[in-house]
Chain A
């Protein structure tokens, strides 16, 4: 669009564009900063989107851009799909959505590097551009296919368990080494089509093979990691184009993804290596000592739960993904309201891996109008269980399993959990005694402080709400 500007301005244009990119960078940094507190988060996201708009708008004035047909068509199609997806998606499906968006972001970065290579004569590229083109294609392609496999796993199209060839880990390591070698070769001989396509194809394959063996329970880690990759891929594309805005924004996202990956690993007491190459997480390898006949559980019903809660001083609710699957968040909120009207103090205990991605449970409860100041992180709520009368555990299992503290042989041993057994009474809402997502039996079921309220979470909560109303 630069041709519409007066010639006097045109000579300054490249510098002006760079300076406006700097402004956009500022918007991103302040935006992410404001995402750090619930009160300012929405404005933070809006600032970041304004930064993006500024960056895109000013790029259209780049003197290199001479035709707009493809740009207009691409933006219109992409925006239409984006708006449709963002409006339609259920909050429970947020991990899938983020995975898909991630995949598109990573794919776009790989395409940008490829496009730049196709546009110019590869022999004109200097070494730095060639290395980063190779890396951009490698990381972007891994992100692309990896994200779509993660999507398929979350959706249940692909088995949640471990799908692996024998020696899968060694195969993956060898393939990654070969891919890096191909990046090197490509740098030396960029015009060689065989090398280029081998690199591209291998990168796509690595994305599939590394995510495929990872169990469903580890998906929060994988999504965080892929998020980081998509940022790094954008950064690499920035190196190729010599564009600071891309380098900086990509680095910010890469850092964000790495931090979240680290938090998720800690929450599950796993190392990243263990998630990527370990066997646990699929379920079928859990111990089979489930439902031993000599262990007994106490069963309870809505009327009794209603009385125990209504006369309690403090009730803590520990929700898990099962709550969201049963679509029971709104009924839960109703129960909480009824109890609050009776003067009961209500808090929600949120384990970091309560949902299918970091912070997922908080979003699901926010959707049901639970105020965020009632949501407590694990570290905040754990000291409070000792002074809690009743804990309602709904659709959660592994995150309250005392085996994580007591049995060194358990696959979840060492994982930080909600210390619900410190409370006077725990009540587990569950369909049956079946084990959780990780496939491990739960000793809490058989504790004499615990009662089981069997049934579908939503139906049970509806019964509970009715029972509390009848107490008046």
Chain B
């Protein structure tokens, strides 16, 4: 139970950091912010790596494999499409 409470502290504190960081983002950037954050939520890939590579039956390896495919789509696609969007944001000076 101590672990749970310790982890809850981390979870809550990180949420506060998230609120602080994101409440400052201007509306112009909300779409890239969302797709970038979305890519970060693919961090679950790390868990998927462990499950499909660690000891366990073939069944858990296949579940891990599916999780890796899903999470990698999320991570790779998310960061790339965010980059594609942000590349288009230009100031007036470098318009020409």
Chain A contacts to B: CB under 8 angstroms: 28-29, 31-33, 35-39, 41-42, 44-46, 48-49, 52, 55-56, 59-60, 62, 64-68, 70-71, 73-75, 77-79, 81-83, 85-87, 89, 91, 94, 97-98, 101-102, 104-105, 107-109, 111-112, 114-116, 118-120, 126-128, 131-132, 223-224, 227, 230-231, 233-235, 237-260, 263, 350, 352, 355, 357-360, 362-363, 366-367, 369, 371-375, 377
Instruction: Tell me if B68 and A70 are in contact (CB < 8 A).
Output: yes
The binding surface of chain B is classed by DSSP as helix
Instruction: Tell me if B51 and A67 are in contact (CB < 8 A).
Output: no
Cα–Cα distance between A253 and B45 once the two chains are bound (Å): 15
Cβ contacts under 8 Å, B36 to chain A:
31-32, 35, 44-45, 48
Cα–Cα distance between A41 and B84 once the two chains are bound (Å): 12
Q: Which of B14, B29, B81 sits near A38, CB closer than 8 Å?
A: B29
User: Quick one: CB contact mask for B50-66 with A, threshold 8 Å, 1 for yes?
Assistant: 11111111011111111
The residue of chain B having its C-beta at the shortest distance from the C-beta of A360 within the complex is B31
Q: A111-B67, A237-B47 are in contact. Are A105 and B42 (CB under 8 A)?
A: yes
Looking at the assembled complex, report how far the CB atom of A201 sits from the nearest CB atom of chain B, in whole angstroms.
16
Looking at the assembled complex, report how far the CB atom of B19 sits from the nearest CB atom of chain A, in whole angstroms.
5
Instruction: Tell me if B80 and A60 are in contact (CB < 8 A).
Output: no
Cα–Cα distance between A28 and B78 once the two chains are bound (Å): 14
Inter-chain contact count A-B, CB under 8 Å?
402
Cα–Cα distance between A33 and B36 once the two chains are bound (Å): 12
Cα–Cα distance between A31 and B68 once the two chains are bound (Å): 23
Instruction: Tell me if B22 and A259 are in contact (CB < 8 A).
Output: yes
Looking at the assembled complex, report how far the CB atom of B40 sits from the nearest CB atom of chain A, in whole angstroms.
5
Q: How large is the interface on B (under 10, 10 to 19, 20 to 34, 35 or more residues)?
A: 35 or more
Instruction: Tell me if A78 and B71 are in contact (CB < 8 A).
Output: yes
B63-96 contacts to A (CB < 8 Å): 63-92, 95
Cβ contacts under 8 Å, B23 to chain A:
259
Instruction: Tell me if A38 and B28 are in contact (CB < 8 A).
Output: yes
Q: Which of B59, B70, B95 sits near A105, CB closer than 8 Å?
A: B70
Cβ contacts under 8 Å, B39 to chain A:
48-49, 52, 101
Instruction: Tell me if A255 and B41 are in contact (CB < 8 A).
Output: no
Instruction: Tell me if B21 and A36 are in contact (CB < 8 A).
Output: yes
